[in-house]
Amino acid sequence: MQLTHGENQFERKTFPITLVCDHIYFQQNIGSLFRISEAFGVENIIFLGKDIPLTPRKINKTSRSTHLHVPHSVIEETNELVHYLQENNFEIIALEIASTSKTLKEINIPQSKKIALIVGSEINGVSEEILKISHQIIHITMFGNNSSMNVSQATGIALYEITSQF
């Protein structure tokens, strides 16, 4: 018998993970990122960019009201985000296919640091500025002809692996 949301036995946890959304503007993706972040106990979300469309009415359809439960903020400038992450001693992990990226299975999660998981825009991915300051760049191994997947799907896969290491 399928369980309702109230009947499931999942332990509620919050992990020291900040999801950083690098210029993500599609409202369906924003809503899905709230939903997947809430499901995996992400501490908070930072949206990087100007005019991020955080209109609850449009996001609510895909977020299923999780935007009400995951703390979030907007940082407009990349240099301000870089300063924040470095000042607060985050382990900066970018999810991107790059010449120096390792597979998701090779990720190293330090237990003594907060994690900033950077996911990139629907068009351009993670910016070069952020890749340069990342401690780790990871990618999801794929086996089809396509070399990318939806940002919220990729985030869910990465969060599953990261939270399993805590």
Q: Taking all residues of the chain, what is their mean pLDDT, rounded to a whole number? A: 92
49-75 residue pLDDT tens: 999 988 877 787 788 778 878 999 999
Every domain of the chain and the residues it spans: 17-140+147-164
Look up the CATH superfamily of 17-140+147-164.
SPOUT methyltransferase, trefoil knot domain (3.40.1280.10)
Burial 29-60 (b: 16+ CB within 10 A, else e): bbbbbbbbbbebbbeebbbbbeebeeeeeebb
With contact defined as beta carbons under 8 Å apart, do 21 and 124 qualify? no
| Dist. CA 72–CA 35, nearest whole Å | 13
143-160 residue pLDDT tens: 998 878 999 999 999 999
With contact defined as beta carbons under 8 Å apart, do 37 and 20 qualify? no
Q: Which amino acid is at 56?
A: P
Q: Give me the mean pLDDT over the 125-140 stretch.
A: 97
Whole-prediction pTM: 0.93
